[in-house]
Amino acid sequence: MQPGFEWIGTAEVAVGAPLGVGRVPGGERRIIPILGGRIEGPRLTGEVLPGGADFQLIRDDGVAEIEARYTLKLADGALVYIVNRGLRHAAPEDMARLLRGEPVPPERVYFRTAPVFETASPAHQWLHRSLFLGLGERRPDSVRVAIHAV
């Protein structure tokens, strides 16, 4: 049986300059501030609130372990907290360009996430009842993630 995918929205998230924590066990730790943005789609529409961050570990094998934590304010006023974990990797030269903040065509980068949502809003309890897949694209000053219910 093949899984079905339902696109629920795409987040366009502005990000700040990475803060390099430095070498830690397992790789290089970076924290990327989330400055704000929008989410638009058939089931999620609203804004990405500033104040979150993407906590990345760039492993020795070149793979970036991503853990973004941020909040949405949906069009109906509901607040939704997201923990979005994933992996991003590409050929070494493309990863080096990404880490320098340079553009890389998205088809050359594996960037997948598994967002988990929390909300008290009765209208959005459906977010607690499905698994989700994010297809990401890193741009020099933003991240785009198309989110699908599986």
The yes-or-no verdict on residue 89 having pLDDT over 80 is yes
In a domain, 95, yes or no: yes
The Cα 29–Cα 22 span in angstroms is 6
According to the model, what pLDDT value does residue 119 have?
98
In a domain, 75, yes or no: yes
- CATH number of the domain at 61, please: 2.40.160.20
AA identity, residue 111: F
The yes-or-no verdict on residue 99 having pLDDT over 80 is no
Q: Could you identify the residue written with the tokens 């996430």?
A: 113
pLDDT tens-digit map of 20-73:
999 999 999 999 999 999 999 999 999 999 999 999 999 999 999 999 999 999
The pLDDT-based confidence of 78 (bands split at 50, 70, 90) is: very high
The pLDDT-based confidence of 1 (bands split at 50, 70, 90) is: confident
Domain that holds residue 86: 6-149
In a domain, 103, yes or no: yes
In a domain, 82, yes or no: yes
Domain count, the chain: 1
